[in-house]
Chains A and B, each alone.
Chain A
Amino acid sequence: MNDTKATRDASLIENQRTTIAELETPVIEVWDGILALPIIGTVDTARAQTMTETLLEKIVSTKSEIVILDITGVPVVDTSVSRHLLETIAAARLLGAEVLLVGLTSRTAITLVHLGLDLTGVTTRTTMARGLQLAFGRLGLEVVKTRPVVTP
């Protein structure tokens, strides 16, 4: 009786783990040639690995030149997290894609500076909107208003 319950629990945990693994690395094609990868929660080695693999495959399959890495949902950016992020950025760059790191807060910036982490060569912005704007600029695209905005 107990055995059956244990087996059921184990399989349930396994299923949930698979679901979480799928949920944690959504690579979104926000525009033709622009991918976005929102990261929620902390980044450990295993997650960084799957994240990078998924991203690289998607870069190749969609021929995207720009990747926006959004770290708004990462609570703490420490040395280990930033090392993983830098590895992902380096790998994407090797394929020929440019990575924009967005979602940096003043707190994150201060932490990074205090830790003495070298982010030279990585373009950073505070919000996804600013990152997207920059990405449009890189691709020679422009967003224009076609009519005046009516506020209710």
Chain B
Amino acid sequence: MIFPIVKIGNCLIATLTEDIGDADAMDLQESINTRIEATGASGVLVDISALQTIDSFLGRLLNEIATGARLLGAETVMAGMQPAVAMTLVELGLTLKGVRSALDAERGLTMLGQHLNGGGQ
């Protein structure tokens, strides 16, 4: 499965589908890193609103995506997490401390915009 990664301004936008498998998720992680490197993007928005369930693998991977992006100089925002997913992550002890969250993609972009502007000043 190929996940399109859209570049808008200085941000990359990736959307996770409901049926994302472990292999797909790892592909996505790699393509996000490759795209950051190629474009020099300073923000990554991962829309996870379609995700209804999560396991420890995917939870850890989300964290890794953010950590990897930070190493490449980009800030990551997870947007639109479902309540059930949040509950599961907390129960798994994966509170994604280094990742910022937003209620939806729009707010996520605003957050990245604000952050990027703030960082540039």
Residues of A within 8 A of B (CB): 52-53, 56-57, 59-60, 63-65, 87, 90-97, 121
How far apart sit A90 and B101, CA to CA, in the bound complex (Å)? 11
Label chain A's interface by main secondary structure.
helix
Q: Are A96 and B101 neighbours in the complex by a CB distance under 8 Å? A: yes
List the A side residues contacting B78 at CB < 8 Å.
94, 96
**B72 to chain A: closest CB distance in Å?**
23
* Nearest chain A CB to B39 CB, angstrom units: 25
Instruction: Check B103–A91 contact: CB distance below 8 A.
Output: no
Per-position contact with A for B84-105: 1 when CB-CB < 8 Å, else 0?
0111011000011100011110
A52, A53, A65: the one contacting B103 at CB < 8 Å is A65
Question: Are B90's CB and A63's CB within 8 A?
Answer: no
**What separation, in Å, do the CA atoms of A50 and B80 have in the docked complex?**
21
Q: B44-95: which residues lie under 8 A (CB-CB) from chain A?
A: 78-83, 85-87, 89-90, 95
B81 touches A59 (CB 8 A): no
Give, as a whole number of angstroms, the nearest-CB distance from B103 to chain A: 4
A96 to chain B: which residues have CB within 8 Å? 78-81, 101-104, 107-108
27 residue pairs A–B, Cβ–Cβ below 8 Å: A52-B87, A56-B83, A56-B86, A56-B87, A57-B83, A60-B83, A63-B103, A63-B104, A65-B103, A65-B107, A90-B90, A90-B95, A91-B87, A91-B89, A91-B90, A92-B86, A93-B95, A94-B89, A94-B96, A96-B79, A96-B81, A96-B102, A96-B103, A96-B104, A96-B107, A96-B108, A121-B97
Q: Cβ of A60: which chain B residues have Cβ within 8 Å of it?
A: 82-83, 103
A34 to B82, CA, bound (A): 19
Q: Which of A63, A64, A65, A91 contacts B86 (CB 8 A)?
A: A91
Measured between beta carbons, the chain A residues less than 8 angstroms from B81 are: 94-96
